[in-house]
Structure formats: C-alpha cells, structure tokens
C-alpha cells in the first residue's frame, strides 16, 4: 500500500516529512501530533512509518522536533521540471 492523502498544503506553504518511532502507530499519531501544534496532516505513508504535516510555523517545527514520539523531521522539497 502506498500513501494516503489527507489534505494538500496550500500554495506556498512548507510541508514537513515526519518519521515517528517504531513503537508508535504513525496513522494514529499523525492526527494527534498535528493537533498539538496546530498543523494539518498531508500524506500518510504506510510503507515508511511516516507522514507529512503542513500549515505550521517555524516555532511549531521546533516543538515537533522535541516530541518524544518523533524520530526525525525534514522539510519536504519539491522541484519543477522545465
């Protein structure tokens, strides 16, 4: 199974790739973590124990990085083809 789209980020909004520790259910914790920092879940990746989150401030990103359930946080990058 691939990814499940929950919501798409608005144009110009940064999106962050969040990997949770293996002992936590990433599908359940995606919503819990997003609500803690006032963000929105973008994609839930069933193959990678991770999800994306968007519509959050830089201070929320720092709070996200310090959460005990979170293994890593990386800013998602997209490229356009010319």
Domains of the chain: 3-75 (3.30.70.80)
Residue 8 C-beta-side C-alpha neighbours within 13 Å:
3
Q: How far apart are CA 59 and CA 43, in angstroms?
A: 22
pLDDT score recorded for residue 82: 47
- What are 18-56's pLDDT values in tens digits? 999 999 999 999 999 999 999 999 999 988 889 999 999
| Cα radius of gyration rounded to whole Å, the chain | 12
Question: How many CB atoms within 10 Å of residue 35?
Answer: 11
Is the pLDDT assigned to residue 3 strictly greater than 80? Answer: no
Tell me the whole-structure pTM to 2 decimals.
Answer: 0.85
Question: How many CB atoms within 10 Å of residue 51?
Answer: 26
């Amino acid at each position: 199974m691939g990814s499940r789209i929950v919501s798409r980020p608005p144009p110009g909004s940064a999106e962050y790739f969040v990997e949770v520790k293996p002992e936590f259910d990433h599908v359940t914790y995606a919503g819990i973590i997003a609500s803690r920092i006032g963000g929105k879940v973008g994609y839930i990746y069933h193959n990678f124990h991770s999800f994306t989150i968007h519509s959050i401030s830089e201070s929320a990103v720092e709070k996200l990085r310090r959460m005990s359930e979170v293994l890593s946080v990386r800013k998602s990058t997209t490229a356009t083809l010319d």
